[in-house]
Structure 1
Amino acid sequence: MKPSRQQGKLLFKIAGVLAGVVFVAFGMQERSELSRTLKLGKHAVVEPITQYTEFKKSGSSTYTAEFHYKTDSGQQMVVKHSFPEEILAEFKAHRPVEIAYMPNDPSTFVFVKQQSSWTLVAVGCALMLAALLLA
């Protein structure tokens, strides 16, 4: 094999592994932030939503709406936030939807029933594996 071809394969492996590491890192950070907010955050129940916007992509839907809630300190919050389909089902069933927010930043919240995703971590691992095996 020519040296330039070997260098190209090595660069492909390095780039693939680095991209995989970035995906894994972002995925783990997202999971950590969700876990931290659920563990340390204050809880509130959002008012039922009246309107929402649906975004469809790759067979799944994501929704966005304005959420109204009151913090423990009495501050009224109105925050535009995306939410998954399972949360929409809660609203449609007229069930209370609980959130967790950080007291030092009440505009940032997560849904208590929100599940953390392994998608970014899995994609990162797949990228690393593909780069190492296919090059």
Structure 2
Amino acid sequence: MTNNDTKPRVWPGLQYDDARTALTTLTEVFGFTETLVVPGENDLVAHAELRWPDGGGVMLGSVKASSGAHEGQRSGGSSVYVNTDAPSTVDAVYERCRAAGLRIVQELTDTDYGSHGFTVADQEGNSWTFGTYAGA
């Protein structure tokens, strides 16, 4: 059975040592929209939710503000794939990443399975792949 509504049902969750910088990168460079930020003590981010314009979202927070199930999770070890239908969106994100000085892990390429995409590392080492492959 498939649920075809537009609500995201899978939310990658990432922890950052500097969640404020991550919020800036994910919104201004990658193109996510900030929908919720719950501040923590000492300018930490207790919880944040960002939406991708084409659907889906990601949650994040500060390592030092983590508790419960995410307590002890470290930053920099995650990998996220972000899909868009438009090759021009992939190209625009790529150019913003280069302009921001982020490390491009895999250059912009067209694959033999029909995807147009690239992979970049954010400031804390998480891998983000942006591409047109929508899955099987």
- The interval holding the TM-score normalised by the smaller chain is under 0.3
Relative to total residues, which structure has the larger helix share, 1 or 2? 1
Relative to total residues, which structure has the larger strand share, 1 or 2? 2
TM-score, normalization: structure 1?
0.23
Give the structure with higher Rg (CA).
1
